[in-house]
A = this chain, B = another copy of it.
């Protein structure tokens, strides 16, 4: 971390500041220039509050050289993490998983039918929304508790681990048998929820917020990990841009960029990103080519009549085709 001091800072002030840093276990390198004095701080600066520093009158600017995330940082954990999903399945560290299922759980036969169909095509984890975050209070909000029950039944019958979204920390008891808890984009900075999930040891799939940076995504992962739960999976699901033809813009460069910054696994969700079934296939293949550890795809047996987001769901037959091509592309990049 580098702190640039304002012109006119007195020697006394500089000494006080240096002592303050040393009291926090940091080494300080002083560089006195013609116009400005610069302090280089060496050591673990991840716990230094930049805004607090910038508030000091003598400080002109503060710049981090190392990243403010630590548990998620690849520098301190060079090997890829593999998150243990249960049922003998891992995600990350070379273990690729295909997650599939409907946007919303609608009925026992719907979720079971889709589960069996996507399992036959190569999906290894079943997704399905029970609690649905909707912009309007008047839109369908999911089957809620009942939806989780139906997912658990489908899990029992097919043996597939399940993933579903949490929106309220008080619902945690319902998620006891859920294999991966999803945090949605709108809750990425719901810090109280993140802290609560940090106290569990559940795998958490953390979706990037609609207008959040990768650094903010990693800082939110850090909230969970700081509580002791290292089972975090990152998920890129499209960010908000000025483009209106697609619902969001899928940022695939997040895959290699996050790969460099962190040891955590990275999943891509092309269905929510594009909002259109016919764009899911090319984007899923591109995600595989970019090196994602997992791809999460919406599949519905009757997309045209789905209660929610039908426009972006594949049919089981389309999913099967995508799964096969993804497999082939992964072979090409593995060689």
B290 touches A4 (CB 8 A): no
| Chief secondary structure at chain A's binding surface | mixed
Task: Please state the number of chain copies in the assembly.
Answer: 4
Report, as a range, how many residues of chain A touch the other chain.
35 or more
| Known contacts A240-B242, A257-B279, A283-B290: A51-B311 contact under CB 8 Å | yes
The contact of A240 among B46, B140, B211, B219, by CB within 8 Å, is B211
Which of A57-65, A122-130, A154-162 forms contacts with chain B?
A: A57-65
Which of B68, B167, B250 has a CB less than 8 Å from the CB of A192?
B167
Give the residues in chain B near A304, CB-CB below 8 Å: 55-57
Q: Does A251 contact B (CB under 8 A)?
A: yes
- Apart from A243-B251, A325-B333, A329-B329: 15 A-B pairs, beta carbons within 8 A: A34-B42, A35-B42, A46-B138, A51-B139, A55-B305, A68-B136, A133-B191, A135-B189, A137-B219, A169-B170, A211-B242, A213-B242, A241-B249, A257-B274, A260-B278
Q: List 12 A-B contacts (CB under 8 A).
A: A34-B42, A68-B138, A137-B222, A137-B223, A138-B226, A167-B191, A168-B169, A186-B190, A211-B240, A255-B282, A286-B289, A329-B329
Residues of A bordering B, CB below 8 Å: 2, 4, 27, 29, 31-36, 38, 40, 42, 46-47, 49, 51-52, 54-57, 61, 63, 65, 68, 133-140, 167-170, 186-187, 189-192, 195, 210-216, 219, 222-223, 226, 239-246, 249-257, 260-261, 273-274, 278-279, 282-283, 285-291, 303-311, 325, 328-329, 332-333
